[in-house]
Structure 1
Amino acid sequence: MSEEIKTLTISVYTENNIGLLNRISAIFQRRHINIESLTTSQSEIENVNRFVIVVNITETQAKKIVGQIEKQVEVIKAYYHDDHETIYTESCMFKIKSNLLFDEPQIQNIIKESNTRIVTVNKEFFVLEKSGRRHEIEALRKELNVFGIMQFVRSGRIAVTKDEMKITELLAEIKN
């Protein structure tokens, strides 16, 4: 019986070093695994960055990949979690012609119903911002596409775990 492919979120705590992103992405490339989204930012710990990588793989593959990632010198710790173990969201922005905001009452309804925020309005265009699950963003994109989208961008997933991750204690042990 083959193992189930799941959407997994891999969190990697690292030092902020040049070239690390290339080496981490090469681990996935060698295994022919597509990265669905990748976000990197400062973590809750000073001078420690966090990668949030979303992939569709089996748990066996995830264990191997996390092990490979942890072999990188700058990596402090890596974890993987399924969607039930995380709280996650994505953000997006839409740029749309301004006249539509006033000429198409349906757009105002879409904005209200989807909990979308107007970021800016000028004579040429307006910009909308939405945070939520990918399927919510895609549904909004489909609705707005009818009116013409000048530009669209979506972030990668950002996520926190429901359970505590013991990274702070781990770092304290390493420093001692």
Structure 2
Amino acid sequence: MMSKKQTYTISIYTENNIGVLNRISAIFQRRHINIESVNVSKSEIKSVSRITLLVRITEDQMKKILGQLEKQIEVIKAFYHVDEDTIYQESCLFKLSSDLLTENDEIQRIINSSKSRVININKDFFVLEKSGTKEEVEELYHLLDKHGIMQFVRSGRIAVTKEEMPVSELLESIKE
């Protein structure tokens, strides 16, 4: 029986070494799997990085990839979760013409209804910041696109699990 594709958030705890992201992405590339988003940051554990990936694959593929990830020398531990098990967000920035703020009432309504905020204004442009789900970010993009977006950038997904994930204790036991 073929299992269906779904979205997985993968959290990979790694040593902070040069080339680790390249080796991890190669695992997906060899299987022709597209990584929809990637975020790398420090984690809750000193000197350990957390790579958060978003992929759309089957659970069978996910289990095989998890095994491959954990074979990487720098990978301390990897986890995967479905959307229902995580609290997740993306952040984005929009650069728009300052004229829109003064000459367009709709822009103010869009800013207020989208729970976005202006983080920078000058005579030529303003910068709008929005955090939310991918769908919320895309909805705001479509609303603003009609008015002309000068620049747009979106982060990869960041996520925490709803259930306790005692990764600190797990990593401490691995280090010992």
For structure 2, the residue ranges without an aligned partner over 5 or more in a row are none
Deviations 1:79-109 (A, max 9, x none): 1000001000000000000011110010000
CA distance in 2, matches of 1:44, 1:117: 28
CA distance in 2, matches of 1:110, 1:174: 49
Instruction: Please name the residue that 1:146 is paired with.
Output: 146
Deviations 1:15-43 (A, max 9, x none): 00001011000000000000000000000
Q: Secondary structure at the match of 1:150?
A: strand
Alpha-carbon deviation of 1:166? 2.4
Instruction: Please name the residue that 2:95 is paired with.
Output: 95
Instruction: Please name the residue that 2:56 is paired with.
Output: 56
**Mapping for residues 42-81 of structure 1, pairs under 5 Å:** 42-81=42-81
CA distance in 1, matches of 2:139, 2:93: 14
Q: Does residue 102 of structure 2 align to residue 108 of structure 1?
A: no
| Aligned-residue identity in percent | 62
Instruction: Please name the residue that 2:117 is paired with.
Output: 117
CA distance in 1, matches of 2:115, 2:167: 34
Alpha-carbon deviation of 1:165? 1.5
CA distance in 1, matches of 2:175, 2:124: 54
Q: Secondary structure at the match of 1:126?
A: strand
Q: TM-score, normalised by structure 2?
A: 0.98
For structure 1, the residue ranges without an aligned partner over 5 or more in a row are none
Q: Does residue 19 of structure 2 align to residue 13 of structure 1?
A: no
Count of paired positions: 176
Alpha-carbon deviation of 1:174? 2.1
Instruction: Please name the residue that 2:127 is paired with.
Output: 127
CA distance in 2, matches of 1:61, 1:141: 32
CA distance in 1, matches of 2:23, 2:84: 29
Superposed CA RMSD in Å reads: 0.7
Runs of 4+ in 1 over 4 A off after TM superposition: none
Deviations 1:100-138 (A, max 9, x none): 111001000000000010001000000000000001110
CA distance in 2, matches of 1:116, 1:137: 10
> Structure 2: which amino acid aligns with 1:163?
E
CA distance in 1, matches of 2:175, 2:80: 24
